[in-house]
Amino acid sequence: EAGVAQSPRYKIIEKRQSVAFWCNPISGHATLYWYQQILGQGPKLLIQFQNNGVVDDSQLPKDRFSAERLKGVDSTLKIQPAKLEDSAVYLCASSLDSPYNEQFFGPGTRLTVL
């Protein structure tokens, strides 16, 4: 069974530029999560989708971050414009149908903002 796929694996941009990350969850998983993990910290949930609807985006900085999950499968996370403090690893995870299920994480995208 294929795992959660993310791209790109690494991205370097300058502040005020835009960037987008892509995630393809495990086939059949209804729930998709985006996390931000700053070096030395635990992952922080940014947004959670159930199919193509948003369940929780309370920690998403909506003035610069946006995410969508069209057709309830793939998802993209965008940052526009980026700030220095956005440097982190962005993790995508999916689970079968609820937060109680095991989450399967992708390898992450390491973003460096200069």
Single out the residue of 45, 52, 61, 72 in contact with other proteins (rule: CB under 8 A): 45
CB 15 within 8 A of CB 114: yes
Is 56 a binder of other proteins (CB under 8 A)? Answer: yes
- Of the candidates 45, 42, 26, the one whose C-alpha atom is nearest the C-alpha of residue 99 is 45
Is 91 a binder of other proteins (CB under 8 A)? Answer: yes
Is 44 a binder of other proteins (CB under 8 A)? Answer: yes
* Token pair listed for 48: 């959670």
Q: Which is nearer to other proteins, 92 or 113 (CB)?
A: 92
Nearest approach, Cβ of 62 to other proteins (angstroms)? 16
CB 36 within 8 A of CB 64: no
Residues in the chain: 114
- Of the candidates 89, 88, 103, 90, the one whose C-alpha atom is nearest the C-alpha of residue 32 is 103
Nearest approach, Cβ of 23 to other proteins (angstroms)? 11
Q: Give me the residues that bind other proteins (CB under 8 A), please.
A: 4, 33, 35, 41-45, 48, 55-56, 58, 91, 93, 99-100, 102-108
